[in-house]
């Protein structure tokens, strides 16, 4: 029995020593930290789908009145004379507003009264030129000088007197595009030349006006209206004078 048991033990050791049967060389089994069952392989998390950004509502800037302040100079308005107080009331009653050019001059009664008298005589007084023709000169001259105030205010006047929004816009942009008669074309050519090249005006230019039917008194009036608006354009541009907003929508 002793030898048999010894033989069995020897055979067991020999079997355990056979190649490929060594338990210490078998593949290890992955187990969770701390014991337990083997940890299964984790699948990668699903990729997040980027959502479209929400549109940010745009806030409109607060509206700012285009005709405030009237000019860029800090000039305190004076007390209106009785004549000018009555004239301002007349404007308010007839037009529904006081033109800003009058408010601009209101710091000095002498200048305001002189401006009003000269303007009314040139534009509304007796003349061989119609009120429309005088307004056409005002706009053609102001177009050359790119005067925002006068183009706006007197462009509206051309639309009103002519009953044609088209004519008003054409003279604002380029009077040569307007289908005016030969008399009016000669008048505007002269006023624009007097504005752009006053040194070049000569007898041939005056003679052309005569042939178009203008008298020498008419030539004086054409020249006076053109000269007045060249002055007004420069004062308006120098002070950033703003036209009343109501002009923009008139006679459209």
Tokens of residue 21, six digits = 């049967």
Condensed to tens digits (0 to 9), the pLDDT of residues 192-245 reads: 999 999 999 999 999 999 999 999 999 999 999 999 999 999 999 999 999 999
CB atoms within 10 A of CB 201: 13
Q: pLDDT band at 61, cuts 50/70/90? A: low
Percent of the chain at pLDDT exceeding 90: 74
Per-residue pLDDT at 65: 87
Percent of the chain at pLDDT exceeding 70: 75
Per-residue pLDDT at 56: 65
Contact 48/42 with Cβ under 8 angstroms?
A: no
Condensed to tens digits (0 to 9), the pLDDT of residues 110-120 reads: 999 999 999 99
More confident residue, 113 or 31: 113
Say how many Å lie between the first and final Cα of the chain, rounded. 133
Q: Where are the extended beta strands (E) located within 26-143?
A: none
Condensed to tens digits (0 to 9), the pLDDT of residues 156-186 reads: 999 999 999 999 999 999 999 999 999 999 9
The DSSP call for residue 25 is G
Min mean pLDDT across 36-40, 70-74, 137-141 is at: 36-40
Own/partner long-range contacts of 75-81 (Cβ < 8 Å, ≥24 apart): 75/107, 76/107, 77/103, 77/106, 77/107, 78/106, 78/107, 78/108, 78/109, 79/109, 80/106, 80/109, 81/109, 81/113
Distance of CA 108 to the CA centre of its chain: 33
Separation between Cα atoms, residue 146 and residue 229, nearest integer Å: 12
Look over the chain and give the mean of its residue pLDDT values, rounded to a whole number.
86
Contact 169/155 with Cβ under 8 angstroms?
A: yes
Query: Residue 180's closest CA among 139, 216, 148?
Result: 139
Separation between Cα atoms, residue 26 and residue 29, nearest integer Å: 9
Tokens of residue 179, six digits = 């289908």
Contact 128/218 with Cβ under 8 angstroms?
A: yes
């Amino acid at each position: 029995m002793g030898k048999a048991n010894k033989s069995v033990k020897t055979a067991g050791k020999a079997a355990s020593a056979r190649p490929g049967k060594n338990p210490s060389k078998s593949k290890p089994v992955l187990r969770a930290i701390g014991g337990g069952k083997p940890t299964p392989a984790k699948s990668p998390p699903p990729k997040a789908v980027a959502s479209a950004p929400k549109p940010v509502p745009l806030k409109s800037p607060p509206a700012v009145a285009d005709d405030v302040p009237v000019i860029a100079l800090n000039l305190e308005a004076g007390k209106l004379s009785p004549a000018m107080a009555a004239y301002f009331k007349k404007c308010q009653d007839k037009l529904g507003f006081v033109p800003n050019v009058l408010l601009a001059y209101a710091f000095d009664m002498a200048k305001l009264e002189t401006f009003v008298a000269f303007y009314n005589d040139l534009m509304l007084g007796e003349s061989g030129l119609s009120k429309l023709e005088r307004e056409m000169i005002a706009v053609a001259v102001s177009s050359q000088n790119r005067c925002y105030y006068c183009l706006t205010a007197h462009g509206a006047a051309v639309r009103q007197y002519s009953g044609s929004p088209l004519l008003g816009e054409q003279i604002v942009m380029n009077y040569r595009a307007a289908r005016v008669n030969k008399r009016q074309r000669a008048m505007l050519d002269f006023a624009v030349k007097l504005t752009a090249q006053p040194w070049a005006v000569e007898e041939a230019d005056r003679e052309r006006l005569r042939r178009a039917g203008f008298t020498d008194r008419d030539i004086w009036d054409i020249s006076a209206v053109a000269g007045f608006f060249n002055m007004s354009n420069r004062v308006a541009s120098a002070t950033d004078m703003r036209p009343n907003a109501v002009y923009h929508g008139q006679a459209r």
